[in-house]
Amino acid sequence: MSSDLVLFKKFIGQFTSEDIADVRRVGRNFYKAEQNLWDIKNRINRDIFAVGAYLGEEKQGFSPSPLLIDMISKFPDTQSKKIFINKKSEWLFLCGRNILPESIVKNPNNLSNGLVLVQNEHDENLGYGLFKQEDTLIIKHILDKGKYLRIDERGKNKEKGKLHT
C-alpha cells in the first residue's frame, strides 16, 4: 500500500473491505482520477490544484467528501453498517442535525455503536454518523450531502461561522 494512501485506506476500511481504484493524492487532497487523466496532469508543466473527483483531505486524520461516503455506501459489504431513517429525519440530518432513536425506521444489524452510514428509506446515502450515548442513544451527525450548501464563498460554515471540516 502506498504510504500516500494510508489515511484514505484506513478510513474506508472502517466500512468496507473493498478497494476504490484510481485514488490519487495531490498535496493533502485525495481524488479519483483514472490513469489517462493522471497522465495528462503529469504532462502539464504547472502545479495542479485538483484532478478528478474529490474524495477528501488529510485534516487531523482523514476528512471524507460526501461523494466518497456515497461511493462507500454502494459496496455490498457495507450493508452491515447501514441504518435507515424516516423522511422527516432525512431533512433534519441533511441540515446537520443528529438522529434520535425514534427516527430510525430500520436497523437491520441492531447497531448501537461505532460509525454508521445513514440512508433514507430508499437506500440512498445521506452521509454518515457515530452512535453516541447522551441522555439517550443518538447518531451524532458527522457529514451529510448538504455540507456544500452550508459553505459560503469564503469557505466558512454559514450556520456556525467556522471553517468547514
Which tens digit of pLDDT belongs to each residue from 77-117? 999 999 999 999 999 999 999 999 999 999 999 998 999 99
In angstroms, the CA 17 to CA 165 distance is: 26
**Residue ranges matching CATH 2.30.130.10 in the chain:** 76-148
Cell of 147: 455540507
Which tens digit of pLDDT belongs to each residue from 103-154? 999 999 999 899 999 999 999 999 999 998 878 889 999 999 987 776 655 5
Which pLDDT value is given to residue 60?
Answer: 87
In angstroms, the CA 90 to CA 127 distance is: 10
Closest to 165 in 3D by CA, of 141, 140, 147: 147
- Work out the angle at residue 17's Cα, subtended by the Cα atoms of residues 14 and 21, and round it to the nearest 5 degrees: 105
φ/ψ of 107, rounded to 5, equals: -135, 75
Task: Tell me the CATH number for domain 76-148.
Answer: 2.30.130.10
